[in-house]
Amino acid sequence: MGLSLTHKIIRDHLVSGEMTPGAEIELSIDQTLTQDATGTMAYLQFEAMGVDRVRTELSVSYVDHNTLQVGFRNPDDHRYLQSVAKKYGIVFSPAGTGICHQLHLEHFARPGRTLIGSDSHTPTAGGVGSLAMGAGGLSVAMAMAGKPYAITMPKVVNVHLTGELRGWATPKDVILHLLGLVTVKGGVGRVFEYTGPGVATLSVTDRATICNMGAELGATTSIFPSDERTFSWLDLMRRPKEFVELGADADATYDETIEIDLSALEPLAACPHMPDKVKPIRELEGLTVDQVCIGSCTNSSYTDLWSVARILDKELVAENTDLFIAPGSKLVLKMLAEADLIGSFIDAGARILECACGPCIGVGGSPNSGGISLRTFNRNFEGRSGTQDAQVYLVSPLVAARAAIDGGIFDLSEWGDPPYKPDMPNNVPSIAHLFIYPPEPDDAQGVRIVRGPNIVALEDFAPLPATIESSVALKVGDNITTDHIMPAGSTIIALRSNVPAISEYVFNRVDATFPARMREAGTGVILGGENYGQGSSREHAALAPRHLGVRAVVAKSLARIHRANLVNFGILPLLLADKDDYERIPQGARLTIPAGEIVPGGEIALTVEGAGEVRVGNDLTDKELAIIKAGGLLNYVRA
């Protein structure tokens, strides 16, 4: 029986466990990446382990989120990150060099390697055949210390592609189509592996776009084979020796199969406020647009922005529409400059932003009150843009550029033919000299770690008590994201290295009284609906509630990375045995959890004041339960 590409890479990195869906496995990790918003905490955790140097093949620290330097906090964090990288053997990418996923794809991602990153869009590297997964910062810190990464063995879904994209349809529409099919929770516990003749029609940047937004499916990761298109990419990036041909066996078996005819796709949009609320662009005709943003780690490559430049050439952005463009890296910016395309952006009236995440995480570029914004980004959660009542749509760069000129979605029949699909330049320039490589171990011993006043040491969390006497501190509905739990934005994101300070913003956009109520109560339980914790990998969505005293989350279902983060910080993830019981439990209800009776995979009965007994189960492994009982992963490792 043949193997899928996913199974081959897992087999080659398997440390423990069996490749049976649902079983716990541990994988050796070749590469790690961090970004500054999650990296500061990850490196504080790494320091706490007492390891003298990273033990991976490659670890890279990118600065791409907190680049809006208002006050001392962000630049202090950047100095800390650079000094940590120098001391412990990590490659450092300074602010402005680019977005971590675009840079990693260009310079470091390799076929067949395992990669985990403290950012949920780490699967972007699947575009070159890397098994790349988003994870919490503590999990990344553990991997840097040489520890294996534990996950549940996923099912592998064969996304079989036929045909070729036509007209205004783009790779963005492939993943939007898939999101419309399976929803934002349809990928939980799955890897999406792309096969079929349609794969050869997609470039590496096309594939990276699809893998990037696979995170919105809730998937473990997404991956394409490493083939001739991969070699061409690596050759252009001056890394031809890193190419390895990799793919599924001809007789590979899969747990599920999804067929997509690329020729049948049309331009799509994800409507407010969820990436799976997908409609054809033609159904939005007549929509007036206040703002257009082009960039993010999803659609900021040279080929994306080449097409945008061609559409904008000799055109002018509509007078009531703002256009922002953020290239994904300085390499992209340099290629655009050498191709004489920057002038098209300038003459059209676009605002050219730094090579960073920016508006995607609500750091600059927020829409006007109640504004309608078309974005080439990967998430359109309510309030994520920085404007709570904004209406954000996710579209391709082609649609975004056209809408910027027209001031909205109008007269689709007059759009004509899209610009032809570009090739990469034959002679791609280099920005490799911008990365700061660490000194040899002997030379790193005397490096001093630079710590600003906003960098606060980790606290020690108490072990799990035998009985939790608490109350439902907050009851929330389905598809609560980590943006709901721990918002981003320039003010809040600057506090990522200061847990006591950032904890004041937990659930700020849901219930601003939550932190104060938690401080008064001292302990609490969160009651959630389906897919609780979807979205970003930010571990602060678990760490900050734990700081406030949250000891358990009871939900209908949990997103993968957030569930892992709950375990890492000693918060019990419990699942309602009967989802109808959700309606029986009001916010504020007192409850008792017999935590000492929990066994992996078993059920216990909670006692809920006014509702009697409510049965809850868990999908914990023996090790995960031991971590929670110890008070979190750091306590467990120290013990």
Which residues have CB under 8 Å from 442's CB, separation 6+?
none
Question: Do residues 407 and 508 both lie within one domain?
Answer: no
Give the containing element (helix H, strand E) for 520. helix 514-521
Which residues have CB under 8 Å from 422's CB, separation 6+?
302, 303, 306, 307
Q: Higher pLDDT residue, 598 or 73?
A: 598
pLDDT recorded at residue 621: 93
Fill in the DSSP letter of residue 493.
Answer: H
Share of the chain above pLDDT 90, in %: 89
Q: Flag whether 441 is in a domain.
A: no
User: Does the pLDDT of residue 263 top 90, yes or no?
Assistant: yes
pLDDT recorded at residue 537: 84
**Which among 498, 491, 574, 588 has a CA at the least distance from the CA of 543?**
498
Q: Flag whether 160 is in a domain.
A: no
User: Does the pLDDT of residue 630 top 90, yes or no?
Assistant: yes
Residue with tokens 């189960």: 617
pLDDT recorded at residue 496: 86
Question: Do residues 506 and 627 both lie within one domain?
Answer: yes
CA distance 565 to 539: 6
Question: Do residues 280 and 404 both lie within one domain?
Answer: yes
Q: Which of 372, 396, 414 is the last residue of a domain?
A: 414
Q: Flag whether 346 is in a domain.
A: yes
Band the pLDDT of 177: cuts 50, 70, 90.
very high
Q: What is the pLDDT of residues 474-497, one digit of tens each?
A: 999 999 999 999 998 888 888 888
- What are the structure tokens assigned to 287, written together? 């929509």
**If DSSP codes are grouped into helix, strand and coil, which group holds residue 620?**
coil
- What are the structure tokens assigned to 438, written together? 């660490």
Q: Flag whether 68 is in a domain.
A: no
Q: What is the pLDDT of residues 500-539, one digit of tens each?
A: 999 999 999 899 999 999 999 999 999 999 999 998 888 9
CB-based contacts of 366-371 (< 8 A; 24+ apart in sequence): 366/390, 367/290, 367/291, 367/392, 368/290, 368/291, 371/290, 371/291
pLDDT recorded at residue 180: 97
Beta strands in 492-608 (DSSP E): 524-528, 550-555, 572-576, 590-593, 603-608
Q: What is the pLDDT of residues 421-442, one digit of tens each?
A: 788 898 999 999 999 999 999 9
CATH of the domain at 393: 3.30.499.10
CA distance 533 to 541: 8
Question: Do residues 347 and 485 both lie within one domain?
Answer: no
Mean pLDDT over residues 602-631, rounded?
95
- Specify the number of domains making up the chain: 2
pLDDT recorded at residue 489: 83
Question: Do residues 282 and 392 both lie within one domain?
Answer: yes
Mean pLDDT over residues 139-147, rounded?
96
Q: Which of 414, 432, 449 is the last residue of a domain?
A: 414
Q: Flag whether 205 is in a domain.
A: no
Q: Which of 414, 433, 448 is the last residue of a domain?
A: 414
Question: Do residues 408 and 485 both lie within one domain?
Answer: no
Fill in the DSSP letter of residue 6.
Answer: H
pLDDT recorded at residue 451: 93
Band the pLDDT of 339: cuts 50, 70, 90.
very high
Please, which residues bridge with residue 19 across strands? none
Band the pLDDT of 71: cuts 50, 70, 90.
confident
Q: Flag whether 311 is in a domain.
A: yes
Mean pLDDT over residues 367-388, rounded?
94
Mean pLDDT over residues 143-148, rounded?
96
Q: What is the pLDDT of residues 3-38, one digit of tens each?
A: 999 999 999 999 999 999 999 999 999 999 999 989
Band the pLDDT of 179: cuts 50, 70, 90.
very high
Question: Do residues 491 and 634 both lie within one domain?
Answer: yes
Give the containing element (helix H, strand E) for 574. strand 572-576
Q: What is the pLDDT of residues 529-569, one digit of tens each?
A: 999 999 888 899 999 999 999 999 999 999 999 999 999 99
- Mean predicted lDDT score pLDDT of the chain: 95
DSSP 222-238: EE--B-HHHHHHHHHTT
Question: Do residues 393 and 529 both lie within one domain?
Answer: no
**Which among 132, 179, 124 has a CA at the least distance from the CA of 151?**
132
CA distance 347 to 405: 12
CA distance 444 to 564: 33
Mean pLDDT over residues 172-181, rounded?
98
CATH of the domain at 581: 3.20.19.10
Question: Do residues 372 and 484 both lie within one domain?
Answer: no
Question: Do residues 483 and 381 both lie within one domain?
Answer: no
Beta strands in 506-549 (DSSP E): 524-528
Residue 513 structural domain:
468-638
pLDDT recorded at residue 288: 97
CA distance 125 to 458: 31
Residue with tokens 């940590």: 84
Question: Do residues 402 and 484 both lie within one domain?
Answer: no
- What are the structure tokens assigned to 62, written together? 């990118």
Phi, psi of 422 (to 5 degrees): -80, 155
Please, which residues bridge with residue 149 across strands? 27
Band the pLDDT of 69: cuts 50, 70, 90.
confident
Mean pLDDT over residues 188-198, rounded?
97
Q: Flag whether 226 is in a domain.
A: no
Q: Flag whether 154 is in a domain.
A: no
Q: What is the pLDDT of residues 114-126, one digit of tens each?
A: 999 999 999 999 9
pLDDT recorded at residue 488: 84
Share of the chain above pLDDT 70, in %: 100
Indicate whether this model's pTM tops 0.75: yes
Band the pLDDT of 325: cuts 50, 70, 90.
very high
Question: Do residues 319 and 409 both lie within one domain?
Answer: yes
CA angle 413, 416, 422 (to 5 degrees): 140
pLDDT recorded at residue 494: 85
DSSP 335-351: HHHHTT-HHHHHHHTPE
